Amino acid sequence: MSDLIEELDLSFHPLTQKLWRDFELLFGDRGACEGCWCMYWKLRGKAFSQNKGDGNRQQQKSIVDAKKNPGLIAYSEGYPIGWIAIEPRHQYPRLAYSKILKAVDDQEVWSITCFFIEKKHRHKKN
């Protein structure tokens, strides 16, 4: 695995205001998965559906503008190629309503809710 990281010259950086344009570049005009902008686990039902596209983008931008860190951008040779959403579990309200993913105790844990890899970088092997 570390050989692949070195081969691809990977680095990982928290999403900040400074890197917002890279996030937009990675997710494209449609917001990665049909306008999700990685807001699915943060918004429930209609709130998510009604905000698909620019509404979700603006909500994610407001999180970043508030200096909260919703995840990491992966770079290869300085170009954004991937995303991982990782935050304390309470930042993802939809998890609390899942029969399978609901909390099993009151321990403070972090959750990874999304991996997004730019299409041309998927399925890479050593």
Q: In what order do the strands lie in the sheet with 10-14?
A: 10-14, 71-76, 79-88, 110-117
Other residues' Cβ atoms within 10 Å of the Cβ of residue 42: 22
Whole-angstrom distance, CA of residue 122 vs CA of residue 27: 15
Domain 2-120 CATH class label? alpha beta
Q: pLDDT truncated to tens, each residue of the chain (126 aa)?
A: 566 556 668 899 999 999 999 999 999 988 888 899 999 999 988 999 899 999 999 999 999 999 999 999 999 999 999 999 999 999 999 998 888 887 888 889 999 999 999 988 887 764
Whole-angstrom distance, CA of residue 95 vs CA of residue 111: 9
List the chain domain ranges. Answer: 2-120
Whole-angstrom distance, CA of residue 103 vs CA of residue 50: 27
